[in-house]
Chain A
Amino acid sequence: MTDTTQTERTEARASVLSSALAALPRPALLLAVLIVLLCALVIAFGPVRALQATVNGFVAGSYTGLGAIGLTLVLGVLKLVNFAHGDLLVTGAYFTILFAWLGLPLPLAMLTAMLATAALALATEKIIWQPLRLAKAGSLQLFLSAIGLGLVLRFTVQFFAGSQVRTLGANVVTSIAIGPLRLGTLQALALVVGISAMVIVGLVLRFTSIGKEMRAFADNRALAEVSGIDTQHIINVTWIASGFLAALSGILYATAIGSFNPNFGITLLLSLFAATVLGGIGNPYGALVGGLVIGLSQEWSTLLFNARWKPAVGFALLILMLMFMPQGIFGRAKRRS
């Protein structure tokens, strides 16, 4: 009952907007809005520019969505705002550089990097988060621990790799032409891998028992615990998934953007938060969709504004969502008790 008043009031504010839209199922409504926007952009800027921006938006959307899944699961399952999550993306990208430097072929280096980051995420659970939970740490302690971990990760990377701009080492400058659209080979690869990964993750969450348990847990922890789910097991799997997907997201970002430095995680973090809030906290499908919406909005915005304002679109969406729809586009107001 702690936040009843706040929830009530935000509900009241949100209800003006949502009651008008409540008649339609949310995913259909969202799809309709996106298609209308795309049509408007096609009319205003011509099909080539609009579709090019859309393809770029899917690339950005895939790494944003995959990155946001871990954030939303950790937030839903552990009630932890993981400020260090962006730095897990960075860790994944730099692990790839490390393993490639050690002699692994690039695809294998990427896979090893994802496994290593998953192991690292699990290690943070054992070393940091589990003991804090057992000590019934307050929210300030959790926030500060997450911030501390983020600093340690980012600057450990920077300590060894330096702050200069790097690439993953597979800089192919060729591009593919699909009709009038052009896509860098690496971007195309990132797009294919990203979209397939999103589909696979969606299927795993939907059909495997661990996926179902994780969603149940993130949705309503008390209920899930009563129904006899092994809590610590779910938490461990959540961290492993969070680390693995964070690394995948970081590698996709590094591949698609081409060059990066250890600060890209903290820069990307707010977009990840935006995708999380957009999709509804604790809802991994929501995070995927939220990521796509953020990616598309950012790339579409480049048709209207200078591209340097791209990150600002993510911030703006985050703030607007928090103010008017804190439950997310698919969320409904929950009774708290």
Chain B
Amino acid sequence: MSADAILEVADAVKDFDGLRAVDGASFHVERGSITALIGPNGAGKTTMFDLLSGFARLNTGTIRFAGRSIGGMAPHRIARLGLVRTFQLTRVLAGMSVMDNMLLAAPSQPGEHLPSLILGPRRARAAEARSRADAQALLETFGLRDKARDYAGALSGGQRKLLEIARALMTQPSLVLLDEPMAGVNPTLGRAILDHIAALREQRGTTFLFVEHDMDVVMSRADRVIVMAQGRVISAGTPAQVRADPAVVEAYLGSASPETTA
């Protein structure tokens, strides 16, 4: 185990309806890294994200995040610890404005709790003003500033993806799980998303773990790559190491190299 791992998964097992979706997976994610999680369809990547974010419960095994065991913890508690996810199919809150989507994600808003709201409305308003400024800045970064007042449901598919990522960052996370951030997004926008991710890692030291099928992106943008197949981690290392690993080539069903299955 690396001394500077922000996330450590050991022997994770998850059964669904008699099927073993995750079968003894172990890996770690280094603090401040951009790590890709790849693997053929049905490898258990999305189930792994569900386990990490608390949306599914481990059968056995452990998950440690920033030194704490988070296996079996409720999703909102994990999110409050700084581990935030996005979903494969974007989940913007369509009936709320873009700005409200962002403000909802603000981490410590006393106005969200009835007692502190009633006893200290001024503190709630002050927190709201701070959050609004943060949200404006993030929306600016992601090119959504003009859309702040629109309903999120009125955004295009790519804009929704941006909003979901911006909203996840609004929680001031230390680890962000991105489930296929590029899916359904045009290549230009996709590159912009990746640039933002790289910049945020530089500025804030945020760690990113993302699932992606485009091998060019994985190989060019990730510091480390974790490969899953049939519920297990079969390889992990730098892009070059993983690319050279025969087990990885094997897993992608006899194809010459991972690139061709993108």
Establish whether residues B17 and A335, one from each chain, have CB atoms under 8 Å apart when the complex forms.
yes
Establish whether residues B56 and A4, one from each chain, have CB atoms under 8 Å apart when the complex forms.
yes
Interface membership of chain A positions 310-337, coded 1 if the CB is closer than 8 angstroms to chain B and 0 otherwise:
0000000000000000000000111100
Establish whether residues A335 and B57, one from each chain, have CB atoms under 8 Å apart when the complex forms.
no
A12 is an interface residue with CB less than 8 A from chain B:
yes
Quick one: closest A residue to B75, CB to CB? Answer: A5
Establish whether residues B56 and A335, one from each chain, have CB atoms under 8 Å apart when the complex forms.
no
Contacts of A225 in B (CB 8 A): none
Quick one: closest B residue to A2, CB to CB? Answer: B91
Establish whether residues B17 and A4, one from each chain, have CB atoms under 8 Å apart when the complex forms.
no
What CA separation (Å) do A75 and B114 show in the bound complex? 38
Establish whether residues B17 and A8, one from each chain, have CB atoms under 8 Å apart when the complex forms.
no
What CA separation (Å) do A332 and B50 show in the bound complex? 21
B19 is an interface residue with CB less than 8 A from chain A:
yes
B residues 62-98 in Cβ contact with A at 8 Å = 74-75, 87
What CA separation (Å) do A236 and B63 show in the bound complex? 50
Establish whether residues A333 and B57, one from each chain, have CB atoms under 8 Å apart when the complex forms.
no
What CA separation (Å) do A295 and B13 show in the bound complex? 43
Place the interface of chain A in its size category. Answer: under 10
Establish whether residues A332 and B56, one from each chain, have CB atoms under 8 Å apart when the complex forms.
no
Establish whether residues B17 and A332, one from each chain, have CB atoms under 8 Å apart when the complex forms.
yes
Establish whether residues A12 and B57, one from each chain, have CB atoms under 8 Å apart when the complex forms.
yes
B55 CB contact (under 8 Å) in A4, A333, A334: A4
Establish whether residues B17 and A333, one from each chain, have CB atoms under 8 Å apart when the complex forms.
yes
Contacts of B50 in A (CB 8 A): 1, 4
What CA separation (Å) do A332 and B15 show in the bound complex? 13
What CA separation (Å) do A305 and B70 show in the bound complex? 49
Place the interface of chain B in its size category. Answer: 10 to 19
Contacts of A333 in B (CB 8 A): 17
From DSSP, what is the main secondary structure of chain A's interface residues? loop
A residues 270-288 in Cβ contact with B at 8 Å = none
Contacts of B55 in A (CB 8 A): 1, 4-5, 8
Quick one: closest B residue to A334, CB to CB? Answer: B17
What CA separation (Å) do A335 and B75 show in the bound complex? 19
Contacts of B87 in A (CB 8 A): 1
What CA separation (Å) do A140 and B50 show in the bound complex? 29
What CA separation (Å) do A8 and B55 show in the bound complex? 8
Establish whether residues A8 and B19, one from each chain, have CB atoms under 8 Å apart when the complex forms.
no
Contacts of A8 in B (CB 8 A): 55-57
What CA separation (Å) do A147 and B116 show in the bound complex? 40
What CA separation (Å) do A217 and B57 show in the bound complex? 29
Contacts of A1 in B (CB 8 A): 50, 55, 87
Q: B51 to chain A: closest CB distance in Å? A: 11
What CA separation (Å) do A5 and B74 show in the bound complex? 8
B19 CB contact (under 8 Å) in A4, A5, A12, A335: A335
Quick one: closest A residue to B47, CB to CB? Answer: A335
Quick one: closest A residue to B15, CB to CB? Answer: A335
Contacts of B54 in A (CB 8 A): 5
What CA separation (Å) do A5 and B56 show in the bound complex? 7
Contacts of A334 in B (CB 8 A): 17
Interface membership of chain B positions 14-26, coded 1 if the CB is closer than 8 angstroms to chain A and 0 otherwise:
0011010000000
What CA separation (Å) do A205 and B112 show in the bound complex? 52
What CA separation (Å) do A335 and B42 show in the bound complex? 14
What CA separation (Å) do A5 and B87 show in the bound complex? 14
Contacts of A335 in B (CB 8 A): 16-17, 19
Q: B53 to chain A: closest CB distance in Å? A: 10
Contacts of A332 in B (CB 8 A): 17
What CA separation (Å) do A95 and B96 show in the bound complex? 49
Contacts of B19 in A (CB 8 A): 335
For A8, A332, A334, which residue has the most chain B Cβ atoms within 10 angstroms? Answer: A8
Quick one: closest A residue to B87, CB to CB? Answer: A1
What CA separation (Å) do A332 and B19 show in the bound complex? 13
What CA separation (Å) do A335 and B22 show in the bound complex? 14
What CA separation (Å) do A134 and B74 show in the bound complex? 37
Quick one: closest A residue to B76, CB to CB? Answer: A5
Interface membership of chain A positions 2-13, coded 1 if the CB is closer than 8 angstroms to chain B and 0 otherwise:
001100100010
What CA separation (Å) do A333 and B16 show in the bound complex? 9
Quick one: closest B residue to A7, CB to CB? Answer: B56
* Shortest Cβ-Cβ A-B pairs, 3 listed: A335-B16, A335-B17, A4-B55
A interface with B by C-beta (< 8 Å): 1, 4-5, 8, 12, 332-335
20 contacts between A and B (CB under 8 A): A1-B50, A1-B55, A1-B87, A4-B50, A4-B55, A4-B56, A5-B54, A5-B55, A5-B74, A5-B75, A8-B55, A8-B56, A8-B57, A12-B57, A332-B17, A333-B17, A334-B17, A335-B16, A335-B17, A335-B19
* 8 additional contacts (CB under 8 A) given A1-B50, A5-B75: A1-B55, A4-B56, A8-B56, A8-B57, A12-B57, A332-B17, A333-B17, A335-B19
B interface with A by C-beta (< 8 Å): 16-17, 19, 50, 54-57, 74-75, 87
